[in-house]
Structure 1
Amino acid sequence: MIVEITEVSCYKCGISFWITLQYNAELKNCHNDFYCPNGHGQHYSAKTDTEKAKEERDRYKRWYNDEKETSERLGRSNSALRGVITRNKNK
């Protein structure tokens, strides 16, 4: 069985230590705390690609809903204006 490892450096004391690639990926996804051999707690704070994609999806959903609401409001306004024009023509 081959275990792949990666080097990690402590942000506080600078010591290098090794963890498995699988554990490193889990830490990046979950943002859980982990500790260097000297006991300094740290975690990955960067957003994962999945988190970024969800935020982008949510941003597009909000944009779509805003545009849809604006379109509906303008459609109602347009209908009301057509009614006013028709009434004024018939006077």
Structure 2
Amino acid sequence: MSTQTFTGQLTVQTCCVCGIAFGVEARYDAARREDHKTFYCSAGHGQSYTGKTEAQKLREQLATAERRRGWAEAILTSTRDQLAATERSLRGHKAAKTRIKNRIAAGVCPCCSRTFQNLSRHMAGQHPDFPTTEEL
């Protein structure tokens, strides 16, 4: 029997199979926690860390946050595009309404495109279902 002097730092582990306590160098323990490789107790039973490390958890959280940010940006872009399209459509409808009002003011029938001195009498007699200028 011989005595050995060790000046490093050991992490005490307990075998999950036989329950024996054994020491593992701290750097080795950290490496096995990171890479999840198998290591052995003094009796030869295989051990491994299956849980995720803090670094792995943080990487996953970062990836999730980046995916969510990408989705939010896509939704924002889509919403902006829809808003712009709605605004263009609204401008088009307003312009069409203005053109119709101007034609009516000039005495042009919006239904049959004929010009009349008294357009309101023509509209009431010939096109009674057409909305009045106040309704437009």
Could you tell me the TM-score, scaled by structure 2's length?
A: 0.62
**How far apart, in 1, do the equivalents of 2:23 and 2:7 lie?**
15
- How many residues align structurally? 91
Which whole-Å deviations, capped at 9, do the CAs of 1:2-49 have from their partners, x for residues lacking one? 111121111122111111112111111111111122222121112122
Aligned sequence identity (%): 26
Correspondent of 2:9 among 4, 7, 11:
4
- Tell me the residue number matched to 2:41: 36
**How far apart, in 1, do the equivalents of 2:23 and 2:70 lie?**
47
Correspondent of 1:56 among 52, 61, 65:
61
Correspondent of 2:30 among 25, 30, 36:
25
Opposite residue 65 of structure 1, the aligned amino acid is G
Task: Give ranges in structure 2 of 5+ residues lacking alignment.
Answer: 1-5, 97-136
- RMSD (Å) for aligned C-alpha atoms: 1.4
Greater relative contact order (Cα 8 A, min sep 6): structure 1 or 2?
1
Could you tell me the TM-score, scaled by structure 1's length?
A: 0.89
More strand by share: 1
More helix by share: 1
- Tell me the residue number matched to 2:78: 73
**How far apart, in 1, do the equivalents of 2:92 and 2:56 lie?**
54
Q: Secondary structure at the match of 1:90?
A: helix
Opposite residue 11 of structure 1, the aligned amino acid is C
Task: Give ranges in structure 1 of 5+ residues lacking alignment.
Answer: none
Which whole-Å deviations, capped at 9, do the CAs of 1:35-64 have from their partners, x for residues lacking one? 122222121112122112211111111011
